[in-house]
A = this chain, B = another copy of it.
Amino acid sequence: MAIVGATGLVGRTMLDVLDEMDVPIDSLALYASERSAGTMLEFRGTTLTVQKLNEHSFDAIDIALFSAGGVLSRAYAPIAVKAGCTVIDNSSAFRMEPNVPLVVPEVNPDDAMNHHGIIANPNCSTIQLVLALEPIRKRFGLNRLILSTYQSVSGAGQKGIDQLHDELQGIEPQERISPHPLAFNTVFHNRIHEERGASTEEEIKMRREIRRIFSMPDLPIAVTCVRIPTTGGHAESVYAELDAHWTIDDIHECLSDIPGLTIIDDSQNDAFPTPISVAGNNNVFVGRIRKDEDHPQGLMIWVVADNLRKGAATNAVQIAELLMKKNS
């Protein structure tokens, strides 16, 4: 196995998750760009040296987890595939390509089996949303989504965390993920279109990816993606219109005993999931399960997950496990 982008926030979390989940690995190669090559990382008691990525990096690799950005994925994933390696790619480079499955193992594991060398890991905000909604969608139907996100600055990698922490300490950040301050503030992701009324890249991704994973190409989805000064996880205010009749107890029952999902919704004890309470956990958490008093099909839920774990590293490792089970 190999990790490409091993020194990044997601790459390092992949190392942790591979270890914690006891994934059977014969050998692990760690790759990064020239700047990070030479870095030493611990894995299962051994010190591994991060190597510079090159055209022969995948000659003896079965599965490569890519998390080094879209440019590197586009350049090196085809080389890896040609060498016989299966790529699980955390960038957005291939997510909308028809012959690249976009997979959340709890939701559409079968799609992973129809790959042609590359499997895409969805956007962090997408993963936690589809995992929380899938049991509800299967049982009660889904015909509309209106979403507002509360995203951790770690979604932009170490740079986002550094900008926030520098600002909180009164230091001028060396690099910025936003021209606006992050501390005590809310900002939006980059826009790819400059015309009036355009959505951001993050908003466009969420809408496309949810539709693709649910195989509902016409599902109406309105998304507003916001970064807030948190670091532990992404939260989402989810408004979903369902088809069938349902009660609050039905939703609680429907979300119980779902692998990878935890309900925290105890009004008496002021209990709900928060970015801090989910940090370091691999599950997706759901709370504040409510019914719209003015629209009986309108369900409101609050979905929180560690964006570096289930939103990225954990989901990628779980896809790798799916492939290993198939091949064993």
Which residues of A pack against B, CB within 8 Å?
Answer: 144, 146, 148, 150, 168, 178-181, 184-188, 190-191, 193-199, 207, 218-222, 224, 226, 228-232, 235, 237, 239, 248-249, 252, 265, 267-268, 270, 272, 274-277, 288-295, 298, 300, 302
Contact B275 A186 (CB under 8 A): yes
Q: In the bound complex, how far is the Cα of B55 from the Cα of A237, in angstroms?
A: 46
User: Shortest CB–CB separation between residue A127 and chain B, in angstroms?
Assistant: 19
Residue of B nearest to A274 (CB): B185
Residues of chain B contacted by A190 (CB below 8 angstroms): 270
A237 and B249 contact, CB distance less than 8 A? no
21 A-B residue pairings within 8 Å (CB atoms): A148-B224, A180-B270, A184-B229, A184-B231, A185-B275, A185-B276, A186-B235, A188-B288, A190-B270, A194-B267, A195-B267, A196-B252, A196-B267, A197-B289, A197-B291, A198-B267, A198-B290, A220-B294, A224-B302, A226-B235, A226-B237
Closest to A196 in B: B248
Q: How far is the CA of A54 from the CA of B275 in the complex (A)?
A: 45
Cβ-neighbour of A168 out of B168, B196, B218 (below 8 A): B168
CA distance A195 to B247 in the complex (A): 13
Task: Please tell me which one of the listed residues B180, B222, B235, B276 contacts residue A180 in the complex, with CB atoms under 8 A apart.
Answer: B276
Residue of B nearest to A207 (CB): B293
Residues of B within 8 A of A191 (CB): 267, 270
- Would you give the shortest CB distance from A30 to chain B, in whole angstroms? 29
CB proximity of A225 to chain B, nearest CB, Å: 10
When distances are taken between beta carbons in the complex, the residues of chain B under 8 Å from A231 are 184
CB of A305, distance to nearest CB on chain B (Å): 13
CA of A219 to CA of B293, assembled, Å: 11
